[in-house]
């Protein structure tokens, strides 16, 4: 994964666990060149490792389990509005009567599925950045 540099370290979210270990979460959009699928990369780091990788303390969120010993953190990756944006960008031409269009949804997904997912992924990243800016 990431032979072209697409999987190079870039933390989207960093959590500090109770004993000081950091978990840097990186959402990975997949890569056509490296033939890798979209996914989530988890980097587990000691305090020294976190400093070596230049993780700022103010970007770290403490994870504290509740009285049941659990803690859930969610990171959005793709929402319905992101898919709608992706379809606008990638295009959507399915028409069994048109020789220049895809005949079925399966053919479209076979050919454009990865591009559609990547476009939706980046649309989500942009949307979340916009939402974060308006919350400040």
| 6 near Zn ion (CB under 5 A) | yes
Q: Which is nearer to Zn ion, 23 or 117 (CB)?
A: 117
| 33 near Zn ion (CB under 5 A) | yes
Closest by Cα among 82, 69, 11 to 44: 11
Q: Which is nearer to Zn ion, 16 or 118 (CB)?
A: 118
Return the ∠ at Cα 130 (arms to 86 and 32), rounded to 5°. Answer: 35
Query: CA distances (Å), 77 to each of 61, 96, 131, 132, in order?
Result: 19, 32, 14, 15
| 24 near Zn ion (CB under 5 A) | no
Question: Quick one: tokens of 82?
Answer: 């992101």
| 34 near Zn ion (CB under 5 A) | yes
| 38 near Zn ion (CB under 5 A) | no
Q: Which is nearer to Zn ion, 30 or 79 (CB)?
A: 30
- Which residue stretch of 26-34, 37-45, 63-71, 92-100 sits at the interface with Zn ion (rule: CB under 5 A)? 26-34
**Region for 38 from its dihedrals, namely left if φ exceeds 0, alpha if ψ lies in -120 to 50, beta otherwise:** beta
Residue ranges in 105-134 that form contacts with Zn ion under rule CB under 5 A = none
CB of 7 to Zn ion, least distance (A): 7
Q: How far apart are CA 3 and CA 29, in angstroms?
A: 14
| 40 near Zn ion (CB under 5 A) | no
Q: How far apart are CA 12 and CA 9, in angstroms?
A: 10
CB of 120 to Zn ion, least distance (A): 18
Using CB under 5 A, list all residues that contact Zn ion: 4, 6, 31, 33-34
């Amino acid at each position: 994964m990431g032979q072209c540099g697409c999987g190079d370290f870039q933390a989207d979210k960093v959590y500090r666990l109770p004993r000081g270990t950091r978990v840097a979460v990186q959402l990975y959009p997949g890569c056509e060149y490296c033939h890798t699928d979209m996914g989530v990369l988890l980097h587990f780091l000691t305090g020294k490792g976190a400093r070596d990788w230049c993780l700022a303390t103010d970007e770290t969120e403490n994870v504290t389990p509740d009285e049941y010993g659990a803690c859930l953190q969610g990171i959005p990756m793709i929402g319905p509005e992101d898919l709608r944006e992706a379809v606008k960008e990638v295009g959507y031409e399915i028409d069994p009567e048109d020789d220049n269009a895809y005949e079925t949804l399966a053919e479209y997904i076979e050919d454009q599925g990865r591009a559609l997912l990547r476009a939706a992924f980046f649309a989500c990243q942009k949307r979340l950045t916009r939402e974060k800016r308006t919350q400040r």
